[in-house]
């Protein structure tokens, strides 16, 4: 395995073994427990694919390094900051390092930046999403993508919600995690009360038959904060009870509920279609 460098952008780095510590950022990307601990400790995340990498760079995330197959170098040459190493390897070697076939050809190790406080992120926003303990990274990424598509201005995460910058979330969102501002609550217990004090109408989304239809709720809401619950159990009793109103998406009685990512996309459309 050799590391090569696009001229005038990055230093040439020689890699003699797949166990080289300089590739540690990319090791075993499918091991969720390992990656959570490593990425938290190192303050990094991994962007996959040219489009996602470019969006992360445009959003201001510093690049630590690149790892890609040779055919992707020319396409990303202009995006590689000066002095940032670019490791190039055959696809089979990439798979041995990362633990999977890197079909999108290119990976970048990015440095995280501190999250702003909730009040700063939602200041000036007219409609937001609030995610309570959604733990599936695919769902988190899909929710961000839907939020970006329909003009949701910010997302607030409960403390235990999955990391939007985990590789799977970033990939599924197609980089939308870089375009929708988000913050994480410091405490869960009074999180919705804090949003209400900031002027939001707190709407708990639920499939319950006795909840109001969401289109009706949206029409009278001045500044909606739509709250989505966990994949299996939905919203906690506390958060559902703290909401100003419970709302449901009207669906066929033949279906009892929607996946949380699908429900979020429909709800985001309904939140923004009243303009």
76 contacts 47 by C-beta, under 8 angstroms: no
Query: Angle CA(69)–CA(71)–CA(76) in degrees, nearest 5?
Result: 90
Domains of the chain listed by start with CATH number:
21-111 (3.30.1330.30), 118-272 (3.40.1280.10)
pLDDT digits (tens, 9 = 90+) for 20-47: 788 899 999 989 888 989 998 899 999 9
Least confident of 3-17, 44-58, 260-274: 3-17
263 contacts 228 by C-beta, under 8 angstroms: yes
pLDDT digits (tens, 9 = 90+) for 95-147: 889 998 887 779 999 999 999 999 999 999 999 999 999 999 999 999 999 99
166 contacts 39 by C-beta, under 8 angstroms: yes
Whether the predicted pLDDT of 4 surpasses 70: no
Residue 26: φ, ψ to 5°: -105, 0
How big, in percent rounded to 5, are the helix, strand and coil portions of the chain?
A: 40, 20, 45
pTM: 0.90
């Amino acid at each position: 395995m050799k590391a090569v460098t696009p001229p005038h952008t990055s230093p040439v780095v020689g890699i003699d073994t797949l166990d080289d510590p300089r590739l540690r950022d990319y090791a075993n990307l499918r091991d969720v427990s390992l990656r959570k601990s490593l990425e938290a400790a190192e303050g990094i995340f991994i962007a996959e694919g040219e489009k996602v990498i470019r969006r992360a760079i445009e959003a201001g995330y510093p690049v630590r390094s690149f790892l890609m197959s040779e055919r992707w170098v020319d396409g990303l040459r202009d995006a590689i900051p000066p002095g940032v190493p670019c490791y190039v390897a055959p696809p089979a070697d990439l798979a041995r390092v990362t633990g999977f076939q890197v079909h999108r050809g290119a990976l970048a190790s990015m440095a995280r930046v501190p999250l702003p406080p909730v009040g700063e992120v939602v200041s000036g926003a007219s409609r937001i999403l609030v995610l309570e303990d959604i733990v599936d990274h695919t769902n988190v990424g899909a929710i961000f993508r839907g939020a970006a598509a329909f003009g949701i201005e910010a997302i607030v995460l409960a403390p235990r919600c999955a990391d939007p910058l985990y590789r799977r979330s970033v990939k599924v969102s197609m980089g939308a995690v870089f375009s929708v501002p988000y913050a994480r609550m410091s405490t869960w217990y009074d999180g919705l009360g804090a949003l209400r004090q900031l002027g939001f109408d707190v709407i708990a989304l639920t499939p319950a038959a006795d909840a109001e239809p969401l289109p009706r709720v949206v029409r009278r809401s001045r500044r909606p904060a739509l709250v989505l619950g966990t994949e299996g159990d939905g919203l906690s009793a506390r958060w559902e009870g703290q909401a100003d109103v419970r709302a449901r998406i009207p669906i066929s009685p033949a279906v009892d509920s929607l996946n949380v990512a699908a429900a979020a996309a429909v709800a985001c459309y309904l939140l923004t279609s009243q303009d």
